[in-house]
Structure 1
Amino acid sequence: MLQYDNSAFYFFALSFITIYIVPSWITIISRVYKALFIKDEAIGAVSRTTAEKAKAEKLKKESKGLSTLFKSKGFVINFAITVILTILFVWLLVSVSSDGEVNTFDPFTILEIDTGSDDKTIKKAFRSLSLKYHPDKNPGDRAAEAKFMMVAKAYEALTDAEARENWEKYGNPDGKQSLAVSIGLPSFLLETGNRNLVLMVYLIFMVGIIPFSVYSYYSDSSKYGEKDVMYDTYSWYHYTLTEHTLVKWLPEVLAGSAEFRKHNVPKTAEDKEAVNQVMSLVKVQMPKPKYNHPVVVKGNVLMHAHLLRQSEQIKSEQMKDDLKYMLRLSTSLIDAMISVCQHQDSLQTAINCIEFGQYVTQGMWVKDTTLLQLPHFTEEEVSHCEKGKGAKAATISEYRSLPDDQKKGMATFSDEQKKDVAKYLQMLPDVSVESKVFVDDDEDDKVYEGDLCTIRVTLTRNNLDKGEKAGLVHAPRFPFPKQEAWWIILGTKQGKIVHIEKVGDPSRVVEHNIKFLAPAVGEYEFDLYVKSNAYLGLDQKSKVTLTTLDNSSLPEYKVHPDDAVLDDEPTLFEEMLNANIEQDSDDEDDSDDEDDDGKQSASDAIAPKSEADLKKEQLKKTRNQEDDDDDDDDEAEEVYAD
């Protein structure tokens, strides 16, 4: 007999809860360990110069310590659920330890009598309990109904000889059972007073919580495409990015991303006033907006405040947080812009997007000189470098190439600040680029029409020692750590993209292969761009020439006899196809024999015929011809008679 079993429910609930709380506690403990003991390098909190010190301190404050964990809503919700389930787990464990025996069929226990009681005691207990739990006296009470059935079964097991023998031997009055089954649900579910509560909880979970959770997960996940960028963002980029898009328009394009549409909505009068305050800082150098949507306007002025180094003048803390949120997503969104440009085959716009990423990382804008990347340098120090007597430097590369005693702009710097400049110039990437065109497994280094040719681009970081790896980008004004990478672009003279990819390998020497089919016969010249993802003024451009020869001049390719034999052999697919065709043909012949007994079978038609058979066929054809002639004569006489 199946019955609701509290002990079985305890074991089931313990097993089910364990599936959640064990991996959850492992995750929580690992996150707590990282928050307390994680190294500064792992979170990018490195201060190689004093200019990076403030950024490193902020990263430590945001990523280290227990207080940082509770800033995440997901962690707080998961922690609360795990604690509640752990308390429930402990309670169930205590319940199991005190009453952990799963119910078995014991007729004496069911009849509430001692084991081995005589027949009189058994009958008396049966009468008493059957009257107490009879369905007529307990209408609608499922618990009483189940108890009545168990009492009847227990009485039968003790009074019927065969049933008692089965129970004593196998533990069940019905005989040997292959499987012992019990309903692992608490018995209070059978109580009449709990019926409405159980039904309500069931409806809430099955009709409310579970469908809503599935809908929320599906609706959220269906909004995102590649690189965790929303599909609406890709649509916006396809609409706004053209082959004529300039760098100065890209902050507004970024501001219109779908990721910011809920976050950057000005909700109150204070929010609008804060937007106006930021706009007053940048409106002189910001181009006239093309789109007047409040979300785009707010994001546009915030990005310009960062690019023009006016973010410290923002008064509203909420506006600072909104800008930080935009910068956190900027890297993936700019990569999405570049992928859209690749899809549109707009080479110059893709280059502009890469340069926009450089500006965002360094907190600089289009009219700024690359010397502003130097630590502690302002417009005043830059003017000393570009003017005056002696050696001059207008770019960061020129400044690095000068001897230390001829570097200007540091007359008012302290010794520590001068060390920062020297340290920065030492870690600044110094990349040399080499390219080679070849065809795999070709010894003469000639490219023929239709060949799969390879352009191997070799990047060498001259500022690194052998075995040393490139570190994080020096970007004090970008609030997040960023790994050094390089964009490798191959384009045509007509402004079309042949290849574009970001290479993040931090090794000293990096090889990157560009493969494509050789075009028609002729001489071609491609533009090869190697552009930094974070530094300004270090990009390189070179020419790659390709001469494609006529493949008709190549010697005729002769197939080896063994290969020819293999080519003639049917493939497995062809063998299966031929087998199916033959089977279908046989089926059609059989059906023809059944439908028309007068038609020859395919086997008869193919088999050789004897001389007698041929004579019979010839005689039959002659008779048929004579009959046709007689019919024609009769028709002619009828026509003539008419």
Structure 2
Amino acid sequence: MSSEYNYDSDAQFFPFFVLTVTSLITLPLTYTLLRKPADATGANRASHIETTYQPDNADLIDIQRAKQKRKELRLKRMLFALGGWLVMAYMVYLMVVTARTAPTIWNPYDILDIAFTATEKQINSRYRRLSITMHPDKRTPNAALNETLESVNDDWVEIVKAYKALTDEEVRNNYIMYGNPDGKQSTSFGIALPHFLIAEGSGKYVLVVYGLLLGIGLPWLVGKWWYGMQKMTRDRVLVTSAGNMFKEYRERMEPGDIAAAITTAEEFEEILRGAKADSGLGKLEQKLQTNAAEFMSAKDKKTLSEIEDPVRRKALALTWAYLTRTLLDDKTLEAEKFELAPTAFQLNDAFQAFCLAYGFTSPLQSCYYLSQCLTQAIPPNDRLPLLQLPHFTPSIVRSIEKTAAAEQRQHLSIQSFMDLPAEQRRSLAQVAGLSNDRLKVAEGVARQLPYLKIEKTFFKVQGEKYIIPSSLVQFVVKARIIPPGTTNVPKVSEKDLLDTDPVEGDIDAMKKEQEVHHVPLVYAPYFARDRTPRWSVFLVDARMGKIAVPPFTFQGFEKPTFDADGKPTFEVVTLKMQFQAPPQAGSYKFQAHLICDSYVGFDQKVDAIMTIDDASKAQEVDSDDDISEPEEDSIAGQMAALKGEAAGANKPRQPRKKQIQQPVESDYDSNTDEDEDDDDSETDTDTSDEE
């Protein structure tokens, strides 16, 4: 028994083979491109804040923004996937237009042209009739039908085989077992490759191609994928960069310290690789000394001067040039400055993981402040909120603050500036040298900024009246978007400040809670990347200076905060963070922080007191709810009264004594003598302590 190889010489099955192999690569690749990334910014679903303002070097910023979009779109993988789909479409086309010949199955009944129910007598009769007309001695080849003597002999051989298969016992068994009257045949292998790739000396080239693909290409792709997965952290930062930044962590860090820490990352080497590391470094530092010295502390200047690595030194210098909006008078340096900011922002996000691991409040807040400054290109040591508005410069802001007699311990926020009467704003702008037309542009932007104002905060356990030890507690923040300068703001309805638990099984309510409505994209004319703002809520033990509950980050809301025309809806939105309550009863005092990572001066903090009752109190309430006396006016009450008179049960009941639980002193609470019923939180928008 031998083996027989059949090649697809007519290209009937080759498209099926190519389609299968290509789909194994193209379909998973397409899925990775279409799925929502873990760090999605929502930039494709949000609108822009409308303004006519164009900053300096707007063309360079637009180029870098387009470059960042290409990175986020993963252009190489998109092109590869597109090529795969084109190949698959061509293979489907070949499958449709190519004529296919189905393999014939040897059937003795068809050869003799008799029915399956034919008897042996009918089979013998049919064979004798065919022998008269089909025997080679009695049949002359018909040239018109391209018949030859050889084909006539082959036809008669098939007739004899068919006759024996139906009459001879041994031949019949071979046909039943192997499908052929001659018994078991040689093994046939079908190869879905055109014959020209194998025949006529092409075999060696095919072997070379297969060797390159399977022996070199496939291991290289798998190794690259595996190494790429291993060298990146969950925050999409190089492991070596994370290690370098971890070494720079301290318990107390200012935003400038974090800016210096993130420049140890290797991601900057890709931007400043080769000759870019030293090119223009001297000119850059000279510009900083001339134009940005007032915005850098002595500590920041010393840190920059002590760095020896040229890549890190230039990265830190470019970071400060970006934060201080220093004009470098060099297109290459300007492009590098704007290209570096999104990378620094991503690394700053990754640095927050170290801050959360140690749990200290100071470095975490500094990370959020640096995120705001990187987004708005504002010096972190002197955060002037009005610099976020177009046409406002440091000199103009200082003049306005001085004229407005703002307190020295805090800067004038956008909200405070827009709350001033229009005439007073124009007067302040004129004194500072800002024209009315430019002031109107700035006011137009301010009225579109998504300032999230806290209306109420409270703790709750879903479905329960009391909070007991170790239960799953929800810290609920009720807030609404009120852009600065908005007039005729409607009052908040008390119903909107409630947090009603959805009815079990209410699918519509669950779907409504899962809806996500995005606010407009961050107004950041100097930041070369489109992104939506994020709000983080976390609880702090102010006495210990540590984080009690890690931040919960929100990027969208369950209700639309802006309508189709870009006007605020004033809908009350709900932010919830869930955590486990402490294991002991008592009164716990927290400081809740609501921080926006995109705008300066939009941060808020409130005092929040969580009262945890003993578990027995909740059980007592449950028992009272389950066993209740019927009302006297009801039929059940009258029947109970009759039974009580007959059995003498109308004696006055003794009141149940309640067990008094003393609150336990907690590590979070520095003052447990406060009234436990006072759990309302008042908003404190004064952020001067952090500044």
Task: Give, in angstroms, the shift of residue 344 of structure 1.
Answer: 1.6
2:101 maps to a residue whose letter is: E
Question: C-alpha distance in 2, partners of 1:41/1:333?
Answer: 19
The CA deviation at 1:373 is: 1.4
The residue aligned with 1:502 is 553
Q: Deviations over 1:275-316 (max 9, x none)?
A: 333233225435323653333223212211211112x52625
Which of 414, 418, 424 is matched with 1:406 structurally? 424
Partner Cα separation in structure 1 for residue 72 and residue 374 of structure 2: 28
Match of 2:194 among 186, 190, 196: 186
Decide which of 397, 400, 424 is 2:415's aligned counterpart.
Answer: 397
Task: Give me the whole-angstrom Cα distance separating, in 2, the residues matched to 1:14 and 1:390.
Answer: 79
Secondary structure of 2:274's match? coil
* CA positional deviation for 1:391: 8.0
Q: How big is the shift at 1:526? A: 1.3
Tell me by how many angstroms 1:191 deviates: 3.5
Taking only aligned residues, the RMSD between alpha carbons, in angstroms, comes to 4.9
Counterpart Cα distance in 2 of 1:551 and 1:484: 41
1:485 to 2:534 alignment: yes
Mapped to 2, the partners of 1:51 and 1:479 lie a distance apart of 15
Residues 61 and 338 in structure 2, CA contact (< 8 A), matched pair in contact too: no
C-alpha distance after superposition, 1:161-208 (max 9, x if no partner): 43897799999665799x996333333455373343233222212211
Q: Which residue of 2 aligns with 1:544?
A: 608
- Partner of residue 131, structure 2: none
Deviation of 1:61 after TM superposition, in Å, equals 10
5 Å-filtered alignment, 1:17-416, equals 17=19, 20=22, 42=44, 46=48, 48-51=50-53, 72-78=75-81, 96-97=98-99, 100-101=100-101, 158=157, 161-162=160-161, 174=182, 182-188=190-196, 190-191=198-199, 193-261=201-269, 263-268=270-275, 271-282=277-288, 284=293, 285=296, 286-287=300-301, 288-289=303-304, 291-310=307-326, 312-313=327-328, 315-317=330-332, 319-365=333-379, 366-388=381-403, 394-407=412-425, 408-411=427-430, 412-416=433-437
Q: Does structure 1 retain, via aligned residues, the 8 Å contact 2:368–2:597?
A: yes
* Corresponding residue pairs, total: 501
TM-score by length of 1: 0.65
Q: Deviations over 1:308-349 (max 9, x none)?
A: 112x526253x5554444333444433222222111212211
1:554 is displaced (CA, Å) by 7.0
Q: Larger C-alpha radius of gyration, 1 or 2?
A: 1
Partner of 1:596: none
CA distance in 2, matches of 1:384, 1:399: 13
Q: Secondary structure at the match of 1:349?
A: helix
**Structure 2 residue aligned with 1:575:** none
C-alpha contact 2:361 2:540 (8 A) present in aligned 1: yes
Q: CA deviation at 1:62?
A: 6.5
**In structure 2, do the counterparts of structure 1 residues 389 and 58 end up closer, same or farther at CA, with 3 Å as the change threshold?**
closer
CA shift at 1:471, angstroms? 1.6
Shift in alpha-carbon separation, 1:453–1:85, aligned structure 2, 3 A: closer
The residue type paired with residue 413 of structure 2 is T
The normalised TM-score by structure 2 is 0.60
Q: Residue 457 of structure 1 aligns to which amino acid in structure 2?
A: V
1:307/1:364 contact within 8 Å kept: yes
Partners of 1:502 and 1:78 in 2: how far apart? 33
CA distance in structure 2 between the partners assigned to 1:327 and 1:71 by the alignment? 20
For 1:527, the aligned partner's letter is Q
Percent identity, aligned pairs only, is 20
Amino acid at match of 1:472: L
**Paired residue for 1:533, among 555, 573, 597?**
597
| Conserved 8 A contact 2:46-2:519 | no
- Which residue identity is paired with 1:436? F
Q: How do 1:583-594 and structure 2 match up within 5 A?
A: none
SS at structure 2 position matched to 1:224:
coil
Q: 2:448 aligns with which of 427, 433, 443?
A: 427
Deviation per CA, 1:511-547: give whole Å up to 9, x if none. 3234322353444321111111111112112212234
Q: Contact 1:486 / 1:504 at 8 angstroms: preserved in 2? A: yes
Secondary structure of 1:273's partner?
Answer: coil
Check whether the contact 1:6–1:185 (CA below 8 A) recurs between aligned residues.
yes
In structure 2, distance between residues paired with 1:231 and 1:181: 50
Q: Secondary structure at the match of 1:256?
A: coil
Bigger relative contact order, structure 1 or 2 (CA pairs below 8 A, ≥6 apart): 2
| Amino acid in the other structure paired with 2:393 | T
Native 8 Å contact 1:527 1:544 kept in 2: yes
CA distance in 1, matches of 2:316, 2:83: 39
Cα distance change of structure 1 residues 383 and 331 upon mapping to structure 2, 3 Å threshold: closer
More helix by share: 1
Contact 2:47 2:520 in 1 (8 A): no
Letter in 2 for 1:502: T
In 2 relative to 1, CA 226–161 (structure 1 residues): closer, same or farther, beyond 3 Å? Answer: same
In structure 1, the residue corresponding to 2:5 is in which secondary structure? Answer: coil
Q: 1:202 to 1:63 in 2, by over 3 A?
A: same
- CA shift for structure 1 position 248: 0.8
Residues 248-284 of structure 1, C-alpha deviations (whole Å, 9 max, x = no match):
11222222234334x044412x651233332332254
Which deviations, in whole Å up to 9, do the C-alpha atoms of 1:574-624 show, x marking residues without a partner? xxxxxxxxxxxxxxxxxxxxxxxxxxxxxxxxxxxxxxxxxxxxxxxxxxx
